Structure 1
Amino acid sequence: MQLFSVKELLSTTPNSQEVTVRGWVKTFRSNRFIALNDGSTINNVQCVVDFENFDENTIKSISTGAAVEVSGTLVESQGRGQSVEIQVNELKIHGMADPETYPIQPKKHSLEFLREKAHLRVRTNTFSAVMRVRSALAFAIHSYFQQNGFYYMHAPIITGSDAEGAGEMFRVTALDAKNPPLNDEGDVDYKKDFFGKETNLTVSGQLEAEAYAMGLGKVYTFGPTFRAENSNTSRHLAEFWMIEPEMAFYDLDANMDLVEDFIKWVLRYVLENCPDDLTFLEQRLLDEEKTKPQAERSEMSLSEKLRFVIDNNFKRVTYTEAFEILRNSKPNKKRKFEYSIDEWGADLQSEHERFLVEKHFKCPVILFDYPAKIKAFYMRLNEDEETVRAMDVLFPGIGEIVGGSQREERLEVLQQKMAALDIPEEELWWYLELRRFGTAVHSGFGLGFERLVQFVTGMGNIRDVIPFPRTPQNAEF
């Protein structure tokens, strides 16, 4: 008998052909009907068992969570909501699941409970759908860049530099934690460490990607990054994935063109390739919205948010223009914003970004030319010497989803900015050399992958869009 996935079976025209399928039991009703799922689709295939053909011990072994192999005849289903079913001839139990202790039962579980069962939660409809969408998004990202002349570059995970200047990094060391070597000043002597210097897990592959863009033209990184930020919010992870393209000879305008085309292409791909999962996730989100007070409910469904981004041109607005809009807005004047907008130079919060997208412009927004004092040292300084060629892409329901900039290609200006921020030149000597040897205008952006998965799936907590979340006081699994 030919082995099929459940997804393949559900799209097969039944003709009494003999088939085999393997998966996990979702439900077993009336000692007769097995709902079987193998992870290939949100939908189950019904397997009809004639219990008279099987011994009692086999029937008792079939319970929610059991891994089974079913062989039988594919026929047109007599039940509603399904096109085919399998009349079971052979049944093999690969692994039983004790119904008294198996935690993923066919009922509604809280997301908090499922985080405690992260090794099993992918067997639920919600998490299997989220992870299939996550996989499709990753494939789409690689496909877009490969089709547009980018080269995939693996940036180092261990680094001696802090690209963002955040200072919240995980230290990497091979020294004895209880008895580390000390220097003459009584400090830990990192010269005797494995790398001969203090090293950390990377917060960004951007700086290294810049180096490779200056030889390959267009590159992108897609890998894990780490922040030792002691935050337990629904928006933060200690380990997450970043997409960071860098392009030689791209100014900020070309950078904004690229990011808009990239995001729209990726979202179209998912809409076309994950219709069943997105339909399920949209209904899940609608059900969740019904439990919220009217004032807190989203004005758009999941599919409407995706179409909102795909179908609208991104509005490009300077920070200064956005500041004036926000400062003069009714929510700000009536003190409805949690963070009031009073002085130019304020770092905009999610509530401000969402107001611009959802209420004022009613389309995705790219803010650019931010105050230099709230942006990173590597962003190109404008002629006014107060703003930099930075950009943020703002989406409905989430606010900022992408951050990028035209990079500072002028050696003297970069040195001045580093000196003002007390960034030692010896730490980034190689980064400065890129400005000495064949410097050119170049740009790039960063997209947090989990933030994108959140937007596409409608999941409210970032811990629920990565297989095994790493957060403060949590490195289980």
Structure 2
Amino acid sequence: MIERQEIRTLLQDPPVGEEVTVMGWVRAWRGNRFMVLNDGSGPETLQVVVNGDTFDEETVRAIGFHACVGVTGTLAESQGSGQAVEVIAERIEIFGANDLSQYPLQPKKQSMEFLRDNGQFRMRTSTFSSVFRVRHGIAYAVNKYFHDRGYYYLHTPIITGNDAEGAGEMFRVSVFDPEQPPRNEEGAIDYRQDFFGKATNLTVSGQLQAEIGALALGKVYTFGPTFRAENSNTSRHLAEFWMIEPEIAFADIENDMDLAEDFVKYLINYCLEHYRGDLEFLDARIKDAEKNMKAADRRPMGLIEMLEFVVQNDFARVTYTEALDILMRSKTYKKGKFEFPLEWGTDLQAEHERYLVEKHFEKPVIVRDYPKDIKAFYMRQNDDGKTVAAMDVLFPYIGEVIGGSQREEREDKLRQRMQEMGIHAEELDWYLQLRTFGGCPHAGFGLGFERIVQFITGMGNIRDVIPFPRAPRLAQF
């Protein structure tokens, strides 16, 4: 049986003077005697002293960058600066060495694009190992938050016959031969002969099914993969991503906003408490990247400072109409510096969202009561006849992280809205029956998991916070 001590645990209470065995990957060499080892358990590294009297030059030369080794030796107080303790190596076992001339990664700074192209190795870097440890922590915190508050975890289907968003940008699921699919008398593909007997897709949201759970169990949440066949190559979009979607019965838009704010603050606080070392490393990485930038282009706060600021302040709350008025009175708008036009009834773009958050309020913002014509059919219509009880939570740097609403519980209003938007009632008869039989006011939201990971880690591109990104013409692994 292999026995070892994890570096993170070892450094918490170092047993100085005792023999230890550690295993991991070589992050760096300091000269030809000091090997820096990391085993993935945390951001911490452990220096290993490789004495020439104990190990011949050929053995040392075989241990290249990111080689995998096991080291047994005595843990001693370090004689140099930069670390409190180090291992005086007595035995070294090479599990996987590599030829530095062939290994794609080199002991130097690599671009994010290069690391994406070599995704099989990018988790070995300090940056990405920290990112994915933090991602794990956020995922755990999601489940803990809802469990501790009496929510039930509901697994909603990945394959669905419904388009919750009404966007139509969905991946088709079929067993048909794409070259020769069966066709009906009109020449259209006959999905009645397909596996499910109807056209089916990969889901864009588990919300509609989560409503079934909420109207029986009171409080539920989903946390699973969703898919969007949107041909977008921006730093904010993925074709496969994870969504967190709570649904609560006996709730209105005010309850929904309160839950959203409390939830994201909890996630941030959890990471600040349990993943401080990784966040400190990512914070230093950002500061190093920005040191040669103009002051105007740098973040106004460091990563940790910003995260602490978010959790310590109440989010601003405004209506869509108020937000539009703020934007149209801004100097940025008057000088024509917004790329996208602004008028009542148009959706807010990322540049507008970021202005509200970063320039005007200088903290996260919740915008509510959007025009009904730019929102989904299931959102509750307000009494003004023009808006719906919808809300978006906007964060610095990335814009929208949460979109939610009070759901339309009045069957007649819901049927009317579906008819206006060309949604066939018979296809969602089960959804309408939730209103017919035992319906109640209820609300919920969707939080894009990668968006909140991106915000908490400070990464610039959403493809760098998911282990295996899926985007247009990108389906590696």
SS in 1 for 2:377: coil
SS in 2 for 1:154: coil
SS in 2 for 1:73: strand
Instruction: Give 1:409 shift.
Output: 0.6
* Matched AA of 2:261: E
Matched, 1:202 2:185: no
Q: Is the 8 A contact 2:154 2:222 kept in 1?
A: yes
Q: Which residue of 2 aligns with 1:157?
A: 158
Matches of 1:328 and 1:36 in 2, distance apart?
55
Instruction: Give 1:29 shift.
Output: 4.0
Instruction: Give 1:178 shift.
Output: 1.3
Matches of 1:79 and 1:43 in 2, distance apart?
17
Matched, 1:351 2:351: yes
Aligned residues: 476
More off after superposition, 381-390 vs 51-60: 51-60
Q: Is the 8 A contact 1:2 1:19 kept in 2?
A: no
Q: Which residue of 2 aligns with 1:171?
A: 172
SS in 2 for 1:25: strand
Matches of 2:30 and 2:259 in 1, distance apart?
52
Q: Which residue of 1 aligns with 2:337?
A: 336
Unaligned runs of 5+ in 1: none
The equivalences for 1:77-96 within 5 A come to 77-96=78-97
The one-character-per-residue Cα deviations of 1:434-458 (angstroms, maximum 9, x if unpaired) are 1111000000001101110111111
Identity of aligned residues (%): 60
The equivalences for 1:39-188 within 5 A come to 39-188=40-189
The equivalences for 1:145-294 within 5 A come to 145-294=146-295
* Matched AA of 2:250: F
* Matched AA of 1:9: L
Instruction: Give 1:270 shift.
Output: 0.4
* Matched AA of 1:471: A
Instruction: Give 1:262 shift.
Output: 0.8
Q: Is the 8 A contact 1:411 1:435 kept in 2?
A: yes
Q: Which residue of 1 aligns with 2:373?
A: 373
Matches of 1:291 and 1:138 in 2, distance apart?
34
Q: Which residue of 2 aligns with 1:11?
A: 12
Q: Which residue of 2 aligns with 1:322?
A: 323
Q: Is the 8 A contact 2:130 2:282 kept in 1?
A: yes
Q: Structure 1 length normalisation: TM-score?
A: 0.97
Q: Is the 8 A contact 1:48 1:88 kept in 2?
A: yes
Instruction: Give 1:56 shift.
Output: 5.0
Q: Which residue of 2 aligns with 1:465?
A: 465
Q: Is the 8 A contact 2:28 2:36 kept in 1?
A: yes
* Matched AA of 1:40: S
Matched, 1:439 2:434: no
Instruction: Give 1:30 shift.
Output: 3.9
Task: Check 1:228–1:291 CA distance in 2 against 1; reply closer, same or farther (3 A cut).
Answer: farther
The one-character-per-residue Cα deviations of 1:133-192 (angstroms, maximum 9, x if unpaired) are 111111111111111111111110000010001100000000111111111111111111
The equivalences for 1:291-310 within 5 A come to 291-310=292-311
Q: Which residue of 2 aligns with 1:414?
A: 414
Q: Is the 8 A contact 1:181 1:188 kept in 2?
A: yes
Q: Is the 8 A contact 1:332 1:340 kept in 2?
A: no
Q: Is the 8 A contact 1:298 1:397 kept in 2?
A: no
SS in 1 for 2:286: helix
* Matched AA of 2:84: S
Unaligned runs of 5+ in 2: none
Matches of 1:76 and 1:296 in 2, distance apart?
43
* Matched AA of 1:315: A
SS in 1 for 2:266: helix
* Matched AA of 1:28: W
More off after superposition, 7-16 vs 120-129: 7-16
Instruction: Give 1:469 shift.
Output: 0.6
Matches of 1:313 and 1:251 in 2, distance apart?
20
Instruction: Give 1:272 shift.
Output: 0.8
Q: What value does the CA root-mean-square deviation take over the aligned residues? A: 1.4
The one-character-per-residue Cα deviations of 1:398-444 (angstroms, maximum 9, x if unpaired) are 22111100000111111111111111112111111111110000000
Matches of 2:374 and 2:326 in 1, distance apart?
19
Instruction: Give 1:291 shift.
Output: 4.0
Q: Which residue of 2 aligns with 1:36?
A: 37
Q: Is the 8 A contact 1:14 1:84 kept in 2?
A: no
Instruction: Give 1:462 shift.
Output: 0.6
Matches of 1:178 and 1:346 in 2, distance apart?
41
* Matched AA of 2:450: E
Matches of 1:474 and 1:427 in 2, distance apart?
33
Q: Structure 2 length normalisation: TM-score?
A: 0.97
More off after superposition, 58-67 vs 242-251: 58-67
SS in 1 for 2:4: strand
* Matched AA of 1:218: K
Q: Is the 8 A contact 1:314 1:365 kept in 2?
A: yes
Matches of 1:347 and 1:293 in 2, distance apart?
32
* Matched AA of 1:273: H
Q: Is the 8 A contact 2:77 2:86 kept in 1?
A: yes
Q: Is the 8 A contact 1:65 1:102 kept in 2?
A: no
Q: Is the 8 A contact 1:35 1:46 kept in 2?
A: yes
The one-character-per-residue Cα deviations of 1:177-208 (angstroms, maximum 9, x if unpaired) are 11111111111111111111110000001111
Q: Which residue of 1 aligns with 2:475?
A: 475
* Matched AA of 2:25: W
Matches of 2:386 and 2:18 in 1, distance apart?
72
The one-character-per-residue Cα deviations of 1:82-130 (angstroms, maximum 9, x if unpaired) are 1111111121111111211112221000001000011100111111111
SS in 2 for 1:155: coil
* Matched AA of 2:96: G
